Structure 1
């Protein structure tokens, strides 16, 4: 039992069809419906737990590896934990994941409406990529990323790099609203970069997980952060500055 009075083991035992997870001490799994498998591992002191959910495809070995890694690194536990916490150095089998990430209780909400006390002592963990996180995401940004972009329950998902962008195109009349950069996806960035040529006065400005910013223009020739270039930004250059793993560039 943790210092909030939650007996995690008892709470999990009360979940319908929960069973011990083979090969990992103090861990359980259950399936609330045919498409989902949930798995949870408890810390040795009983004060925190790490839960990984998978949709449609469940890999027991990967799940064990993620839970063990999260428990070893105490991901999302402690006063310094943010809404999204990551640890790099993870690998398993042929998967390209290089990190494990943890969403805080207020972000994942895995047990909201069923067991609020249990929810508050669980990190929602999932295999991830370093390029997907900046490390200073606000609670609102974390919810946007976790619930709207990253698809943490899909084991076959490609990287979704941390990418904020603003743009304006004088030819298509498309553009972002306001001076701030908003979250977007890799394919949208590539599309808007491709539409710059032949549209003088247009620009695309984007930011990666390291906080580096690139401003790309076409005014008869290409300019990147004010420096002239002979050719438009290539897909491989974009992938490199976003930190995408080499296999998916």
Structure 2
């Protein structure tokens, strides 16, 4: 696979300033696509930006991904993460890569190129557990993380199940499913005054908390004087 030739055939491609073996192109006004080829020419790392394109951040992400060979090869996990990244005033502390079956950046246009590209983006360590399967990776990347938005805030890895005897709301089945921080806070706030209700949630480290209200607050069967605060929840999720 000749990656450089395949990129050149896309059209309206220019070199990324200050980064060798890297190119960028804009398929429409809101998007900027940037791709850096690995040193041996056998793999590439692509970062897409929506609405706001920060050239310095993009260059730093591509350099970091290339240095770590992030997500390279057909045996890579659907989601791969490398920590220790930082750039400017951004809070990102990692770079993540999604595999070809997850991102599909060149699907339907150049399948051969698609199969040798990692989709990379700046990320937060608290967003990933590291063992996500293909279905979970697609859900996270396409519907939750907004990886093309460089101004985004953390979307912590969060699985939850719950039941509320007052609202009659609840999750389906015994397993915890992916949800968002605001949903967790809402359901925690609805526990008071609903005896027999609970919210159980899990973070990226696999740590689990079960919060109940039975006339007083219980967290993992330990009585608490006050309901869980937003700062406590953020700390539990690893994204303070």
TM-score by length of 2: 0.99
Asked if 1:100 is matched to 2:102, the reply is no
2:179 maps to 184
Gaps of 5+ in 1: 1-5
- 1:21-170 equivalence runs, <5 A: 21-78=16-73, 81-170=76-165
2:203 maps to 208
Cα distance in 1 for residues equivalent to 2:160 and 2:23: 41
Cα distance in 2 for residues equivalent to 1:73 and 1:186: 30
1:3 maps to none
Cα distance in 1 for residues equivalent to 2:82 and 2:101: 20
Cα distance in 1 for residues equivalent to 2:3 and 2:101: 18
1:224 maps to 219
Displacement, 1:78?
3.6
Aligned match of 2:190 in 180, 192, 195? 195
**DSSP-derived class of the 1:50 partner:** strand
Cα distance in 2 for residues equivalent to 1:47 and 1:120: 11
Cα distance in 1 for residues equivalent to 2:22 and 2:84: 22
Runs of 4+ in 1 over 4 A off after TM superposition: none
**DSSP-derived class of the 2:89 partner:** coil
**DSSP-derived class of the 2:184 partner:** helix
Displacement, 1:16?
1.6
Cα distance in 2 for residues equivalent to 1:63 and 1:78: 22
**DSSP-derived class of the 1:215 partner:** strand
How many residue pairs are counted as aligned between the two chains?
240
TM-score by length of 1: 0.95
Gaps of 5+ in 2: none
CA displacement 1:126-156 (0-9 Å, x = unmatched): 0000000000001000000000100000010
CA displacement 1:169-213 (0-9 Å, x = unmatched): 011111111111000000110110010000000000000000011
Aligned match of 2:232 in 228, 234, 237? 237
**DSSP-derived class of the 2:7 partner:** helix
Cα distance in 1 for residues equivalent to 2:116 and 2:28: 23
- Identify if the C-alpha distance between structure 1 residues 10 and 137 changes in structure 2 by more than 3 Å, giving closer, same or farther: same
